[in-house]
Amino acid sequence: MKKTMLTAAAASALTLLAAFALGFAELPKKVKLENRRVRVTEVTYTPGTPRDRHIRPTDQVIVFLDDCKYERKDSQTGEKTIRQRKSGDLIWHNKGEDAPVLTNLGAKPYRTLVIELK
């Protein structure tokens, strides 16, 4: 019984590690506020874990809570650029924009607030 449980735990841990390594795991998110007009989500970008590309469902304000350095991969051209942001920096994104793959290049996680206007 102990051997079976240990094997199951090890297999689960390896699956999670593989998912993070391949970029299939979702970034940690916490909804801080939601009502009929706005949703505010705290997103944590762990080092080396890419955020998947997606189309923005709403107009958004992104607030950087921590200093960070990340790689942005353009989905149309494949071009990679390095960006740095300071705690307190703000950026705007329009509904329907392509949200490219982002990868935290730092040694520690950084956080953003995503403010979605409904």
Residue in this structure with the two tokens 């989500």, named with its chain if needed: 41
Residue 112 lies in a domain: yes
Residue 2 lies in a domain: no
CB 38 within 8 A of CB 49: no
Residue 20 lies in a domain: no
Residue 40 lies in a domain: yes
Residue 107 lies in a domain: yes
- Check which CATH number belongs to the domain holding 100 and give it: 2.60.120.10
Rounded CA separation 50/100 (Å): 10
Q: What are the distances in angstroms from CA 92 to CA 1, 12, 46, 95? A: 54, 38, 22, 10
Q: How confident is the model at residue 8 (pLDDT cuts 50, 70, 90)?
A: very low
Residue 111 lies in a domain: yes
Tokens of 9: 């735990």
Instruction: Give the closest residue to 114 by CA, choosing from 83, 90, 98.
Output: 90
Q: What is the pLDDT of residues 23-49, one digit of tens each?
A: 445 789 999 999 999 999 999 999 999
Residue 11 lies in a domain: no
In which domain, by residue range, is 36 found? 27-117
Rounded CA separation 42/55 (Å): 18
Residue in this structure with the two tokens 């874990």, named with its chain if needed: 49
Instruction: Give the closest residue to 104 by CA, choosing from 14, 20, 12.
Output: 20
Least confident of 16-25, 66-75, 92-101: 16-25
Stronger pLDDT, 25 or 103, i.e. the higher one: 103
Residue 22 lies in a domain: no
Count of structural domains within the chain = 1
